[in-house]
Amino acid sequence: TQTVSQSDAHVTVFEGDSVELRCNYSYGGSIYLSWYIQHHGRGLQFLLKYYSGNPVVQGVNGFEAEFSKSDSSFHLRKASVHWSDSAVYFCAARGATGGNNKLTFGQGTVLSVIP
């Protein structure tokens, strides 16, 4: 069974601070990982993905994430947050082989940025 865990339900930082949102997964094979952002009342917007190659991937709006097989992690980072980054962030995973592309999501992390 594939699981995704986001250990922090809520993270609060000041504008201009750096932030790291944590994601850990449990899966037996090759894995595809992604991060999505959800602003209040909106659908999910894709931020970035990893499935092979360079473990550090860049996304939109200055976000990046690093895949670690040894730690079973895919943490999301941003060097300097803006108040508009306040939203809920979801980590998602699926198998990278086998043809079934359904996503398993973590519980989400609410990021609050204080101006």
Partner 1 sequence: NAGVIQTPRHKVTGKGQEATLWCEPISGHSAVFWYRQTIVQGLEFLTYFRNQAPIDDSGMPKERFSAQMPNQSHSTLKIQSTQPQDSAVYLCASSLEGLGYEQYFGPGTRLTVL
Q: Which residue number, 69 or 102, has a Cβ lying nearer to partner 1?
A: 102
Nearest distance from C-beta of residue 49 to partner 1, angstroms: 6
Applying CB under 8 A, does 102 fall inside the site for partner 1? yes
CA triplet 66, 78, 12: central angle to 5 degrees?
A: 115
Footprint (CB under 8 A) of partner 1, residues 23-42: 32, 34, 36, 42
Q: Which residues pair with 100 in a beta bridge?
A: none
CA triplet 70, 76, 77: central angle to 5 degrees?
A: 115
Tell me which of 75, 90, 109, 111 binds partner 1, using CB under 8 A: 90
Which residues are at the interface with partner 1 (CB under 8 A)?
32, 34, 36, 42-46, 49, 51, 90, 96-97, 99-108
